[in-house]
Amino acid sequence: MDSGQDEDIFLQNLLKCGSFESMDIEQKILLGVDGSESAMQAVTAAGSLMKNRKNSNITLFYGAPDPHLSSLTKLLRLTPTAVEEYRKVLSLQEQRVLERAEEVLLGSGVEAERVTIRGEGKCHDPASRMLQLATSEGFEVIALARSSSPRLKRVLMGSVTSRLIHLADEKAVWVIDPPIASLNVLVALVGAPISRRAMEHVIRYFAHLKESRFTFFHVVPPLPPQYWDNTRILTEQERRAREIQIAQWTKEYADRVKEIADEGKEKLLKAGVHEENVTFKAQAVEIGMARDILAELVRGNYGILVVGRKGSRETSPFRLGSKTNKLLDNAQDCIICLIN
């Protein structure tokens, strides 16, 4: 199935369901945790964001690492009784991580009936396991804290966050970097159909933030290669024809993006967001598309960044020049929502 057919099916499903702001179907979020402070801060941020979204349910997942007891038994010459006692200690630690995360989530204002905890021991690959659960049990969003490791270590060691981003081609991924600056939302529009999906995600998950500011932000990309100057001097007629082609391309591209922004604004207003809090902003590339988005993120004090991305399963994590990687590396104090 090609991307055009995928988009047709996606839009048909939207029409069947109706507008996102009127949908009452359950929203399922799988939130990965561990015992770190950054993970607990991410739980607080997610809870504060979703506490008033009454049809959203959050499952806290902890994949406890495999302690390789067989190797430890030989190395330390542990008795079977000692090994069993050690297993009990590990199980207790796993439960404590989940109980603490649950306590933090409830403390942020999320009702107990909307929270589930789930732990798994001997979890060799938490990223793959979370993706399996999301696929088999219908979670739309996988969320977790951004790794606090330095960038090079994240790439070489393959952190859970990095692995999940590159594996989860069919799920939305929220990368949480607390503390969150605000609940204002910046939606980076880069072209259809990815931008339409990003816009619909905003309506579905964030339209309840009625007092927040929503900005649909578009950085006009450089001209495509077919409109670049060639190696010869154009005649006056050729130059005028080129200018007309460029103007037409620019208008068609801008119209597509503006249409998505206008549709998003209409849906946000229907959901109760104040009209003065919804804006569309477009600018030509100044430093680079990713850096321009980052500059707007800081300038506008946004705490939520929603951006579409292309499938990354075939993308090497060493390709640091991509827009997504630049945003992930440099965006701070926000929730980065990657929409595929």
pLDDT digits (tens, 9 = 90+) for 214-267: 999 998 876 665 656 665 677 778 778 777 777 777 777 778 889 999 999 999
Q: Write down the pLDDT at residue 225.
A: 59
Output the pLDDT for position 72: 53
Query: What is the DSSP track for 234-293?
Result: PPHHHHHHHHHHHHHHHHHHHHHHHHHHHHHHHHHHHTT--GGGEEEEEEE-SS-HHHHH
- The CATH superfamily holding the domain 180-340 is HUPs (3.40.50.620)
What's the CATH superfamily of 20-179?
HUPs (3.40.50.620)
- In our burial notation (b when 16+ CB lie closer than 10 A, e otherwise), range 279-300 reads ebeeeeeeeebbbbbbebbeeb
**Residue ranges of the domains in the chain?**
20-179, 180-340
Average the pLDDT over 275-301 and give the result: 92
Region of poorest pLDDT, from 148-162, 185-199, 225-239, 289-303: 148-162
Whole-Å CA distances, 295 to 83, 237, 261, 319 = 54, 40, 20, 22
What's at 67, amino acid-wise?
Answer: P
Give the mean pLDDT of 135-162. Answer: 73
Q: Do 20-179 and 180-340 share a fold? A: yes
pTM: 0.80
Residue-wise pLDDT tens digits, 299-317: 999 999 999 886 544 444 4
Q: Residue range 194-204: average pLDDT?
A: 93
The confidence band for 161, taking pLDDT boundaries of 50, 70 and 90, is confident
